[in-house]
Each structure stands twice: as C-alpha cells, then as structure tokens.
A and B are shown apart, each in its own frame.
Chain A
C-alpha cells in the first residue's frame, strides 16, 4: 500500500523537535553536495520522531534545497523509514487455521469495530495498530492474539472491549508518569 503523507498536528513537542532538526541540519557539513547529507538527516528524523513527519521532510527540503518529491522518493525506498508514527501497542491477531476454526475471524471483526480501524492501520487515537499473523505457536489455546509482548489466549469477541480498555488505561498511567521526562539525550547513530 502506498500512503499519502498528510500534515501532522503541530504540538509544542513537535515544534521543539523541528527546532532540534533544524539545528542538526545546520551543524552538518556536506561531503560534496547537499544530496549526500540526505540519508543521515532522514535517519536522524526517524529516530527523533519515530517516523518521518511531512513537516520534517519539508524542513529538510527547504534547508538542503532538495525537492520534496525527491525526499519522499528516498523515504519510501528504504524499509527502515516509516511515514506513519508507530502505535505504542502492536496487536497481532492470529489468522492461522486453528485460530480461524476456533472463531478468530469473529474476534478480528470485533477488533476492527472496537478500534475503528482496518488491518495494517492505526486506530484513530494512534494507540493501536492492527495486524494479522499466521501462527503464534500456541494453537492449543486458540484463538490467540498478541499485544506487544503479552499473549492473550482463548479470546471471544465479547472480551475485546475490556482488553483494549486495559491497554488504554495502562497508557494513560504511563503518560502521567513520564510527563516530566525530557526527550533529550539523543545521539545520532552517525556521530
């Protein structure tokens, strides 16, 4: 799937990171032309933001004088770069035979409904990404679903809202704890 890179919401945190990016670009000296800096700058963005926001690519375009089309081409060529933020909770629903027979398809439908999203996409709140997998190696306990490192077994559709809510609460708690933590201390891999 090719995606359209939309504008990102400019939060104060985002603004701050863009400032950091601008400073980083200024600090670099190109080997021969600006083009030679592009790779390392994109790497920097991927690590700093966790993905390549459009605003960051536009900033690079202006500062390095490289057309946005070209930057976008580069960003999509390498699998290392992602154009969407990675959701903090990665859901993998098993669609292997055993899970399927045990009602996995209905569970998947319920997941789509509760998360308001589709396979391969993020939920609108950006917390979950819904994926399918072929076998998690515990067919005896099917249907099986993995959320980050947790394995959930013998799920029925009715249990889904509760499970999702659990992770939402968990995320809220984590966020409160980490509000004071600074994002600083970043080191660019190339440095």
Chain B
C-alpha cells in the first residue's frame, strides 16, 4: 500500500497515494488538465508542456504529467498565468503546423485542433519558419511529418506496447522529427502495420492509407461486380461514430449501409472464420498426433505474422499455415463463388471491411492470389467505411437491418468472437473438443481463455489429453513468451496471438475513441468485447463445425479439411523478412 498524502488542487483538499503525479491526482479529483503527450499506459516524457500547473512555492510551472505529488502541495490548474502560458505553448505548436484543418483527414478528430479551440486560441501571433517534409506511405499507413507535433506517443506505443521500435525521434531542435530508422520509407522498416500509432497520434501525422477513392471508383464501374466482406470487430464499433455506445451490435445496419453504397454482394468474414477453425483445428490435431512443430500459433493476425517474419524467424514453422479469414474469403470469392454465380473472376472487385490496417498489407502479399488475381483487391478500415457512409449522406442511425447474402454469409457465434482476444482459441476449443471426443460439449463457454490480461494460459482436457494453451496480445508480451519458450521455461500446444491490445476489437483501424476516452481504455474495450459475446450468445449456431454452409462447402467444393483444394486455396507460407528486428525483452506484461 502506498502512503496517502494530503494535497490541494484548485483549493479543494484531496487525499492521493504518494506515487501519483499531479496529473493523476487531478484526474481523480475530476479536473482535466490539458495534455498532448501523456497517455496513462505509456511512460510520461514531458514533451509537450501543455499540462503545466502552478504549485505554491515553485518558481517554474511544472508539467503535471511527470511531477510527483508532495505532502501539503498546493496546486492551481486554472490561474490567469497558467491559462496564458498554456495558450502560448499551443500557439507555438500551431505556428509550426500546416494551417489546413478544413482539408485535413483528422478534422474534428484532432486533439491539437480541439485543444487550441478549448484554450481559446483565436489568432496566429507567432509567424515563423515552418518545417517542410515529404509525406511517406506504406500499404497500410501514411506519415506526414509536417503535421507531427513531436508528442512521441507513436514512438512509445510502438516500442512499449508492440515491442517493434519502428519509429524514433531523430535530429534535434527545429530539425527534430519522428521517423523510421535511417529515415528510410516506413515500407522498408520493421513496422508491422498494426496501426496502433494511428490510434495514439493526436494529429494527422500518422493515418491509415486511404482506399476509399479506389473503392468508389469500382463501385461506380458498371463492368464490375463489387463483393464485400465484414470482419467481426467492425460491427460492434461502427456505431460509436454515430453516437451509439461501444459494443452496440450494428451488423444488420452495416449490411444495409453497404447495399446503399452500391456493393453488389455482401458476405461475412465470419463464414471464413468458421472455415479457419475447421482447417486450423484439424491442423492442430494433426500436429499433435504426428509430432509436428508445437506450439502451433494462430495465423489470423497479419501484424503478428509480419512481426514473426522480422523478429522471430526461427518460429515461422510454428505458425499455422492457414490463411487469415480475410484471405480465405478472398480466395473463395474468386474461385468457388465466381464459378457458382458465373461471374467472371476478372470482373469481380473484392473489398473487405476490417478493424485493421495490417490487413491492407496482407492483401498485397504476392502469394495471396489463389485465383490468379488478387484474393482481396481493397481493404477498408472501419474508419474508412464510416467516412464513405458519411460521404453518401446515409443516416446510419435510422437504418433497418438486413441480411448477408448466400452462401458465404452464414456464420456461427464461434466466428463472432474472433474479434476479441481469446476468441479464436475458444472457437477452436469448441470444435476440437467435439471432433476429438465425438461428444457434445457440456458447457459451451471456455471462460479461462476469456479476459483482458495480455498473457493468459489454460490447460484443457480433451480425451485424457492435457492441452496447454495460451492467449497473447501486444507483441511485447509475445517477445517475452517466445524467449521463455526458447529457454524451455514454457510448454504449450497452441497459442493465440493478436498484435492489438484486446484483440481486433482494439485494432488500428477502429473508430477513434470519442470524448475523454483514451485508446487502450479497459472499460471501453470491454464494452466492445461484451458486444461480441452477446452476439455469440444469441446465435443459432455457436460452433464452427455445425455451420450448415460449412458442411456444404466441404461437400460441394473443398472435400475435406486439409485436403488438396484447401491446401491450394486456404493455406499459405511465410518467409524471413529484412530488416531483421531486434527484440527487447521487458519484464512487465502489457495489459489493458
């Protein structure tokens, strides 16, 4: 227990633990001190100085985010001097920032803009030299260093949460810039495209690579049949942009909106998530029975897969060879469905709506072309879909529900929970249990693999066989566990890995948290998770292998899990990537 200290904030006496900073103390006392570089889950670095306060007896204004409280401290957060100084600081940041809010992607979602507005900046008083840099982009992200305010949140989230260290502060003073190693294009860096930095960036300096224009073009092309799929995590977050609480199930309304936007056929990535379970489940059973490489890792997360290719190439054979649900669906659309519907595959334009920026990269992997064409032509994030809905003037709040199209629109609750950490594991266990024992599963929920901790483990008994499983998110947790597996300290059969905290529901392409909520807020992510579990509970089918359309596709087309057709269309391979990533093992576990 920490000792409690008595302090005063704006005249109000409060008791706070001695390890608190002024900013934490104020948060608890219900006073929001303005901030740009502080985030509760990241080490405070005092970069922006927006959080300055007045402390009795101190000559300077200390930054609240990195000043610890003292017994008897008398803090004032809202004096005329502080208000003026804070405004000056923000004005100075604005002075070195492009003045084009109206045409900026981040307009209305920009922390700098809203802070300037809240603090009452009404004119530009400090005209000076402005930094000039070229924008840079990868398949997943765009970087515009001219809009960067050097808060360093991206650098910290990439290092501490993801263990990737793709970004750094370089140079100093006026030339100071955040960039990838050697100032190379981010495409040539170890960046794994998770997009977490885009959730943290207060401005438009880091954003997803936009694909909406390309999708619009194809939607308006009469020659094209545009087919779309939606990932599980999208449906419980999209409503947030239209004023609904996180976790609200907007599956039906999203399908309606997609039809109104002009998509011709609407499928559900959850169908191919069920298919993933069939293939991956059988792969696991085979690996266990035939002494294959273990532990087996899930392969649904392209952020994790690229991370493994850069940082842990010695584990590449441990990743399941299954393509991700997005890519399985892509492959089926241009083979199975093209044949069935007699639409020529070259006329199909295949779009997916994902909570994820890494999926944009995944779709461009050269090997993802089972039909001879790209399996998936364009990937939109949840945020981009929201933008298109707005551009089309669709009043999302008023939409009635509609249904996915046949035959790739049917799914089970097991597939829905792919969107939350632990979900793929739970779905796999539901099916593996029944396939191996030929008995019906007594209780359907595998509670031990649920939860929001970054590292979870469980042992499941199936047919007297003890199967050790683990569920991980945040790649810095993965660094730690992999090094312990190498050292023989941990022993698992099957591990689920998602790059993003909380799983895909916390993906880098999800809506920005609204109001005072921070990204990585536990309660916020739990609400999205509850949304998914709720959908699962109310589904007619809750185990992948009982999905009637899954049985049908095996009968009509794929023959059997791990069969030769599956092998060709649904499985893939991985390769070592440069630059080689350097892992930093941190003792602490990252958890929401």
Picked from A3, A66, A68, A73, the residue with its CB within 8 Å of the CB of B169 is: A73
User: What CA separation (Å) do A162 and B76 show in the bound complex?
Assistant: 71
A69 and B165 contact, CB distance less than 8 A: yes
B334 to chain A, nearest CB (A): 39
Q: Which residues of A contact B166 (CB under 8 A)?
A: 69
B582 and A65 contact, CB distance less than 8 A: yes
Q: Which residues of B contact A70 (CB under 8 A)?
A: 165, 168
B171 and A69 contact, CB distance less than 8 A: no
Which residues 39-81 of A have a CB within 8 angstroms of B? 54, 57-58, 61-62, 65-73, 76-77
B183 and A67 contact, CB distance less than 8 A: no
Kindly state whether residue B179 has any CB partner on chain A within 8 Å. Answer: yes
A76 and B584 contact, CB distance less than 8 A: no
Query: Contact mask A1-44 → B, CB, 8 Å, 1/0?
Result: 11111000000000000000000000000000000000000000
B580 and A69 contact, CB distance less than 8 A: no
B170 and A68 contact, CB distance less than 8 A: no
Q: Given A73-B169, A73-B170, A77-B172 in contact, is the A2-B183 Cβ separation under 8 Å?
A: yes
Q: Which residues of A contact B159 (CB under 8 A)?
A: 67
**Chain A, residue nearest B180 (CB):** A69
Which residues 545-592 of B have a CB within 8 angstroms of A? 579-584
B165 and A67 contact, CB distance less than 8 A: yes
**Chain B, residue nearest A4 (CB):** B183
Q: Which residues of B contact A3 (CB under 8 A)?
A: 183
Kindly state whether residue B412 has any CB partner on chain A within 8 Å. Answer: no
Most chain-B Cβ atoms within 10 A of its Cβ — which of A5, A58, A71, A76?
A: A76
B580 and A2 contact, CB distance less than 8 A: no
User: What CA separation (Å) do A2 and B172 show in the bound complex?
Assistant: 11
B415 to chain A, nearest CB (A): 37
Q: Given A66-B582, A68-B181, A69-B181 in contact, is the A2-B175 Cβ separation under 8 Å?
A: yes
B170 and A2 contact, CB distance less than 8 A: yes
- What's the tally of chain A residues with a CB closer than 8 Å to chain B? 21
Q: Which residues of A contact B584 (CB under 8 A)?
A: 65, 67
Q: Which residues of A contact B124 (CB under 8 A)?
A: none
B182 and A4 contact, CB distance less than 8 A: yes
Kindly state whether residue B167 has any CB partner on chain A within 8 Å. Answer: yes
Q: Given A2-B175, A67-B181 in contact, is the A76-B582 Cβ separation under 8 Å?
A: no
B171 and A67 contact, CB distance less than 8 A: no
B183 and A62 contact, CB distance less than 8 A: no
User: What CA separation (Å) do A30 and B499 show in the bound complex?
Assistant: 33
User: What CA separation (Å) do A97 and B168 show in the bound complex?
Assistant: 41
Picked from A58, A71, A72, A77, the residue with its CB within 8 Å of the CB of B183 is: A72
Picked from B170, B190, B582, the residue with its CB within 8 Å of the CB of A77 is: B170
Most chain-B Cβ atoms within 10 A of its Cβ — which of A2, A5, A58?
A: A2
B45 to chain A, nearest CB (A): 13
Q: Which residues of B contact A61 (CB under 8 A)?
A: 582
User: What CA separation (Å) do A132 and B170 show in the bound complex?
Assistant: 26
Q: Which residues of A contact B579 (CB under 8 A)?
A: 58, 68
Query: Contact mask B161-205 → A, CB, 8 Å, 1/0?
Result: 000011111111001010111111000011000000000000000
User: What CA separation (Å) do A1 and B132 show in the bound complex?
Assistant: 9
User: What CA separation (Å) do A3 and B179 show in the bound complex?
Assistant: 11
Picked from A54, A66, A77, the residue with its CB within 8 Å of the CB of B171 is: A77
A53 to chain B, nearest CB (A): 11
Q: Which residues of A contact B177 (CB under 8 A)?
A: 2
Most chain-B Cβ atoms within 10 A of its Cβ — which of A57, A66, A73, A77?
A: A73
**Chain B, residue nearest A75 (CB):** B170
B35 to chain A, nearest CB (A): 24
Q: Which residues of A contact B170 (CB under 8 A)?
A: 2, 72-73, 76-77
**Chain A, residue nearest B175 (CB):** A2
A54 to chain B, nearest CB (A): 6
B448 to chain A, nearest CB (A): 35
User: What CA separation (Å) do A62 and B167 show in the bound complex?
Assistant: 17
Q: Which residues of B contact A54 (CB under 8 A)?
A: 182
B172 to chain A, nearest CB (A): 5
A32 to chain B, nearest CB (A): 15
Q: Given A2-B179, A3-B183 in contact, is the A68-B582 Cβ separation under 8 Å?
A: yes
User: What CA separation (Å) do A76 and B165 show in the bound complex?
Assistant: 17
A154 to chain B, nearest CB (A): 36
Picked from B133, B181, B581, B582, the residue with its CB within 8 Å of the CB of A72 is: B181
Q: Which residues of B contact A62 (CB under 8 A)?
A: 580, 582
Q: Which residues of B contact A69 (CB under 8 A)?
A: 165-168, 180-181, 189
Q: Which residues of A contact B583 (CB under 8 A)?
A: 65
**Chain A, residue nearest B165 (CB):** A67
Q: Which residues of A contact B171 (CB under 8 A)?
A: 2, 76-77
User: What CA separation (Å) do A75 and B165 show in the bound complex?
Assistant: 16
Which residues 145-170 of B have a CB within 8 angstroms of A? 159, 165-170
User: What CA separation (Å) do A65 and B311 show in the bound complex?
Assistant: 12
Q: Which residues of A contact B581 (CB under 8 A)?
A: 67
User: What CA separation (Å) do A54 and B166 show in the bound complex?
Assistant: 16
User: What CA separation (Å) do A62 and B582 show in the bound complex?
Assistant: 7
A85 to chain B, nearest CB (A): 16
User: What CA separation (Å) do A4 and B177 show in the bound complex?
Assistant: 13
B89 to chain A, nearest CB (A): 23
**Chain A, residue nearest B583 (CB):** A65
B480 to chain A, nearest CB (A): 15
User: What CA separation (Å) do A111 and B221 show in the bound complex?
Assistant: 54
**Chain B, residue nearest A64 (CB):** B582
**Chain B, residue nearest A73 (CB):** B168
User: What CA separation (Å) do A1 and B177 show in the bound complex?
Assistant: 11
Q: Which residues of A contact B167 (CB under 8 A)?
A: 69
User: What CA separation (Å) do A1 and B24 show in the bound complex?
Assistant: 39
A41 to chain B, nearest CB (A): 15
User: What CA separation (Å) do A158 and B351 show in the bound complex?
Assistant: 63
User: What CA separation (Å) do A72 and B167 show in the bound complex?
Assistant: 10
Q: Given A3-B183, A4-B183, A54-B182 in contact, is the A67-B582 Cβ separation under 8 Å?
A: yes
Q: Which residues of B contact A71 (CB under 8 A)?
A: 181
User: What CA separation (Å) do A77 and B172 show in the bound complex?
Assistant: 5
**Chain B, residue nearest A65 (CB):** B582
User: What CA separation (Å) do A68 and B583 show in the bound complex?
Assistant: 11
Q: Which residues of B contact A58 (CB under 8 A)?
A: 579
User: What CA separation (Å) do A122 and B168 show in the bound complex?
Assistant: 27
Which residues 114-153 of B have a CB within 8 angstroms of A? 133
Most chain-B Cβ atoms within 10 A of its Cβ — which of A54, A62, A66, A68?
A: A68
Q: 3 shortest A-B CB distances, which residue pairs? A: A67-B165, A73-B168, A5-B182
Could you list 9 A-B pairs, sorted by A, with CB under 8 Å?
A2-B133, A2-B177, A4-B182, A67-B165, A67-B584, A68-B579, A71-B181, A72-B170, A77-B171
**Further contacts, 6 of them, CB under 8 A, given A67-B168, A68-B182, A69-B180:** A2-B133, A5-B182, A67-B581, A69-B167, A72-B183, A73-B168
